[in-house]
């Protein structure tokens, strides 16, 4: 059937530690909770724009993941990319309104984060332990930065906060 929408359900590839690549077709609209959690050999993944929801901890502990393109989602959910220790940079697209708790926690290789002007909230511990993160700029749209959002960011030297947040 053409145009049939499918989901990658919760825990679908959980703990598949030898999985190296995955191609997600444009028929996928939802990636479930912990769908790829623990896929420690997964290096790159391209998520099609058809995906409108990614569940909690979907890619956590994907320790070899170096690059990910985030699709047209409204929220980067809780722990979504937690402990993706090889992830170097991330660009938050203009559709994202909120970055959930622990979303990028302990992404220790992350050096650059581009936050789009659509983001309104950064929840608790979102970037906690990103020890290589050097610079962060908050757009004027950000209304709140949660508790411990950037704690343990040992390399952080430049933080740009607009007059509108405080």
What's the rounded Cα separation, in Å, for the pair 125 and 99? 10
Residues 46/26, Cβ–Cβ less than 8 Å? no
CA distances from 14 to 36, 74, 142 (A): 5, 24, 33
At residue 81, φ and ψ (nearest 5 deg) are -120, 25
How many CB atoms within 10 Å of residue 84? 27
pLDDT at position 135:
87
Render the burial of 16-27: b for 16+ CB within 10 Å, e for the rest. Answer: beebeeeebeee
CA distances from 31 to 17, 36, 77, 89 (A): 18, 9, 11, 21
Band (54; pLDDT cuts 50, 70, 90) = very high
pLDDT at position 2:
55
Mean pLDDT of 137-157: 93
Band (8; pLDDT cuts 50, 70, 90) = very high
Encoded tokens for 71: 């699709």
pLDDT at position 1:
47
Mean pLDDT of 92-103: 95
């Amino acid at each position: 059937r053409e145009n049939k929408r499918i989901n990658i359900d919760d825990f679908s590839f959980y703990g598949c530690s030898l999985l190296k690549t995955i191609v997600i077709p444009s028929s996928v609209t939802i990636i479930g909770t912990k769908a790829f959690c623990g896929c420690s050999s997964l290096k790159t993944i391209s998520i099609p724009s058809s995906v409108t929801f990614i569940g909690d901890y979907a890619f956590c502990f994907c320790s070899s993941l170096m690059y990910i393109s985030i699709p047209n989602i409204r929220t980067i959910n809780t722990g979504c990319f937690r402990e993706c220790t090889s992830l170097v940079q991330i660009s938050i697209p203009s559709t994202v309104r909120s970055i959930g708790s622990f979303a990028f926690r302990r992404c220790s290789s992350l050096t650059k984060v581009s936050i789009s002007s659509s983001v309104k909230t950064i929840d608790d511990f979102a970037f906690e332990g990103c020890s290589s993160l050097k610079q962060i700029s908050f757009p004027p749209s950000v209304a709140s930065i949660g508790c411990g959002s950037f704690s343990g960011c040992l390399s952080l030297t430049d933080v740009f906060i607009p007059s509108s947040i405080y």
